[in-house]
Amino acid sequence: MKADLDLVREIKAGDKKIFGELVERHQKAIYRLALRFTGDHGMAEDVVQESFIKAYQKIHFFEERSSFKSWLFRIAINTCKNKWRKKSHLEVDIQDVVLSVEEKTSLGLENEQVQKVLQLR
Question: How big is the CA angle at 40 (ends 24 and 85), to the nearest 5 degrees?
Answer: 100
Q: What pLDDT is attached to residue 100?
A: 46
Q: What pLDDT is attached to residue 83?
A: 83
Tell me the C-alpha distance between 41 and 2, whole Å.
31
3-state helix, strand, coil split of the chain in percent (to 5) is: 90, 0, 10
**Which domains does the chain carry?**
4-120 (1.10.1740.10)
| pLDDT tens sequence across 48-67 | 999 999 999 999 999 989 99
| pLDDT tens sequence across 22-40 | 999 999 999 999 999 888 8
| pLDDT tens sequence across 69-119 | 999 999 999 999 988 777 665 454 555 544 544 454 445 555 555 555 555
Tell me the C-alpha distance between 46 and 41, whole Å.
9
Tell me the C-alpha distance between 52 and 73, whole Å.
10
Tell me the C-alpha distance between 35 and 65, whole Å.
27
